[in-house]
Amino acid sequence: MAIAQATIVLPAKSRTRLLEDERWLAFALLVPTAVLLGLFIAYPFVNGIWLSVTDTRVGVPGEFVGLKNFYKVWNDSIFRVAVWNTCWYTLVTTVFKLSLGLWLAMLLNRSFKGKAFTRAFILLPFIIPTVLSTFAWKWMFDPTFSVLNWMLFQIGFITKRVNWLGDPDLALVSVMVVNIWRGVPFYAITLLAGLQTISPELNEAAAIDGARPWQRFWHITWPLLLPVTMVVTLFSVIQTFADFQLVYVLTGGGPANATHLFATYAYQLGVGTGLLSEGAAISLAMFPILFLVVIVQLLYIRRVEVR
């Protein structure tokens, strides 16, 4: 009851007057967002930084150890493999997702029968929960019962089965294939939205002037689509760089660490071994690389927009 008495109740008039002041209104409108960002982004991030400079284990509060964890992971050969894998994985999948997504968007931008249905259908890989679709892929790559091997064998492409997830090189390629399969619809639909903002008159005018399809794409479509492309790529790079589920389900980082990414190795150390501080250090090691990529891309987007 004491609480109720202590509450300061402003008269309705003065409350309205306060919100008429733009500074207060802006503040009031920003508070929910700031609280959400603070709770779910800033706090975990700051907590992650703190963990990485301590020797915290699960259930054991740590003490400050400076950069010891970073030194340890830097000298860890599995970490180096994970760094290389993550960069290579992100680069290759991004190139493929962008090219295939753009190609698909151009096709979907044309008029044909069943256009709406096809557009919805294309989104399926993106809609299905990742873990579920990845399990389906796991079955397709199964060393004993692979449907892919069966098909390739039936059409005479292979004479003995391919060890999709057991061969170190093929395993990373297989994981990339699944990532590309899942990521292409996101590119396709977003780029399609971008394509639809480009006035058809521009292309028609160029066609009348004798421009070939490739010239029309290169001089009209691509420059106008570039800002959207850059934003999509930015999102995709961030997501791919921090990918976890695909590798966790398909290979668990194996064989012999050939498919470990930052996130899977951080999980292995943080949760599997209880070394929260080292797991945090590995996760944070992602940050400078990602930060650099994002800055470069954002600067580029700004330049494109100004132009």
103/10 Cα distance (integer angstroms): 60
Task: Give the helix ranges, DSSP H, for 141-198.
Answer: 147-154, 168-195
Please, which residue, 98 or 269, has the CB nearer to other proteins? 269
Instruction: Check residue 78 for interaction with other proteins (CB under 8 A).
Output: yes
| Residue 119 interacts with other proteins (CB under 8 A): yes or no | no
Please identify which residue in 31, 273, 304, 305 interacts with other proteins, judged by CB under 8 A.
273
Residue 123 is inside which H or E element, if any? none
Which residues are CB-contacts of 39 (< 8 A; sequence separation ≥ 6)? none
Locate 133 and state its tokens.
């679709």
Out of 145, 157, 218, 235, name the contact with other proteins by CB under 8 A: 145
Q: Which is nearer to other proteins, 227 or 255 (CB)?
A: 255
269: contact with other proteins by CB under 8 A: yes
Residue 71 binds other proteins (CB under 8 A): no
Residue type at position 198: I
Size of interface with other proteins, in residues (CB under 8 A): 39
What lies within 8 Å, CB to CB, of 147 at 6+ separation is 139, 140
* Candidates 87-95, 120-128, 137-145, 226-234; binding stretch for other proteins (CB under 8 A): 137-145
Kindly state the smallest distance separating residue 278's Cβ from other proteins, in Å.
9
Q: Considering only residues 68, 76, 153, 238, which one is a binding residue for other proteins as defined by CB under 8 A? A: 76
Half-sphere exposure of 50 (CA within 13 A, CB side): 9
Q: Measured at the alpha carbon of residue 71, what is the angle toward residues 69 and 75, in degrees to the nearest 5?
A: 115
Q: Would you count residue 253 as binding other proteins (CB under 8 A)?
A: yes
By CB under 8 A, is residue 165 in contact with other proteins?
yes
Helix (H, G, I), strand (E, B) or coil at 251: coil
CB 188 within 8 A of CB 182: no
Exactly one of 36, 37, 123, 256 binds other proteins (CB under 8 A); which one? Answer: 256
Q: Does 68 bind other proteins (CB under 8 A)?
A: no
Residues 100, 102, 107, 108, Cα dihedral to 10°: 110
Q: Which is nearer to other proteins, 125 or 252 (CB)?
A: 252
Q: Say how far apart CA 126 and CA 187 lie, in whole Å.
A: 10
Q: CA–CA separation, 59 vs 230, rounded Å? A: 43
| Contact flag: residue 79 with other proteins (CB under 8 A) | no
Contact status: 167 vs other proteins (CB under 8 A): yes
Which pair of structure tokens corresponds to residue 91?
């680069």
Is the C-alpha dihedral spanning 204, 206, 211, 215 positive or negative? negative
The contact mask relative to other proteins for 185-224 (x = CB under 8 A, - = no) is ----------------------------------------
- Of 58 and 147, nearer to other proteins (C-beta) is 58
Give me the least distance between CB of 59 and other proteins, in Å please. 3
Interface residue list for other proteins (CB under 8 A) = 1, 57-60, 72, 75-78, 141-145, 161, 163-168, 171, 251-257, 268-276
